[in-house]
A and B are shown apart, each in its own frame.
Chain A
Amino acid sequence: MEGEVKLETLTKSFGAVVAVDGIDLHMPPGEFFTMVGPSGCGKTTTLRMIAGFERPTSGQILLDGIDVAQTPPHRRNVNTVFQSYALFPHLNVADNVAFGLKYRKATKDERRSRVAEMLGLVQLTGFEKRMPSELSGGQQQRVALARALVLRPRVLLLDEPLGALDARLRKDLQVELKALQAEIGVTFVFVTHDQEEALTMSDRIAVMNGGHVEQAGPPQAVYEEPQTFFVADFLGVSNLIGAQARGKDGNGCRIQIGERSLMAQQGAIDAQGTVKAMIRPERVRVEPQNTPGDNRLPGMVEHAVFLGSFRELRVRLPGGDVVKAVFPNDGSPLTFDEGTPLTLHFPPEALRVLAPSTDGAAPDDVPEEESPNGH
Chain B
Amino acid sequence: MSWLRNPWGQPRFLPLLTGAYILWSIIPVAIAVLFAFNDGRSRTTWQGFSMRWFTGDPTGSVAHNPEYTAALEHTLILALICVVITVPLGVALALGLQRWRGRGSGSVNTLMLLPLVTPELVMGVALLLLFLNIFNGWGIGTTAQAIGQVTFAISYVVVIVRGRLVSIGREYEEAAADLGAPLHGRLLRVVLPLLAPAILASAGIVFALSIDDFVVTQYLAGGSDTNTVSMLLYATARGAPTPALNALATITLVLTLVTLALAYLVYRKFAGAGGAAEAATLGEM
A73 to B175, CA, bound (A): 10
- CB contact list, B153-199 vs A, under 8 A: 170-172, 174-182, 185, 189-190, 193-194
Docked complex Cα distance between A82 and B193 (Å):
20
Q: Give the number of chain B interface residues (Cβ < 8 Å).
A: 18
CB atoms of A90 and B177 under 8 A apart: no
Which chain A positions have C-beta within 8 A of B179?
Answer: 74, 79, 99-100, 103, 147-148, 151
Expressed in whole angstroms, the Cα–Cα distance for A304 and B176 within the complex equals 53
Within 8 A of B (CB), among A8-58: 51-53
Interface members, chain A 77-112 (any B CB < 8 Å): 79-80, 82, 84, 86, 88-90, 99-100, 102-104
Q: Is A72 an interface residue (CB 8 A)?
A: yes
B174 pairs with A73, CB closer than 8 A: yes
Inter-chain CA distance A148–B185, complex, in Å, is 17
Q: Are B177 and A86 in contact (CB under 8 A)?
A: no
Which size class do A's interface residues fall under? 20 to 34
Give the most central of B178, B181, B190: most A CB within 10 Å. Answer: B178
Return chain B residues, CB-CB under 8 Å to A88.
172, 175-176, 190
Q: How far is the CA of A151 from the CA of B180 in the complex (A)?
A: 9
Residue of A75, A89, A147 most packed against chain B (CB within 10 A): A89
Residue numbers in B under 8 Å from A72 (CB-CB): 177
B190 CB contacts on chain A under 8 angstroms? 88
The answer to whether A89 and B194 have CB atoms under 8 Å apart is yes
Partner of B180 from A84, A86, A89, A103 at Cβ < 8 Å = A103
- In contact, B194 and A103 (Cβ under 8 angstroms): no
- When distances are taken between beta carbons in the complex, the residues of chain B under 8 Å from A102 are 180-181, 185
Q: Is the CB of B178 within 8 A of A79?
A: yes
Give bound CA distance, A80 to B182, whole Å.
Answer: 16
Chain B, range 44-77, C-beta contacts under 8 Å to A: none
Residues of B within 8 A of A373 (CB): 170
* B interface residues, Cβ below 8 angstroms from A: 170-172, 174-182, 185, 189-190, 193-194, 272
User: Could you tell me which A residues sit within 8 Å of B by CB distance?
Assistant: 51-53, 72-75, 79-80, 82, 84, 86, 88-90, 99-100, 102-104, 133, 147-148, 151, 373, 375
Task: List 30 contacting pairs A-B, 8 Å CB cutoff, sorted by A.
Answer: A51-B178, A52-B177, A53-B177, A53-B178, A72-B177, A73-B174, A73-B178, A74-B180, A74-B181, A74-B182, A75-B180, A79-B178, A79-B179, A80-B174, A80-B175, A82-B171, A82-B174, A84-B171, A86-B174, A88-B190, A99-B176, A99-B179, A99-B181, A100-B180, A102-B185, A103-B181, A104-B180, A147-B179, A151-B180, A373-B170
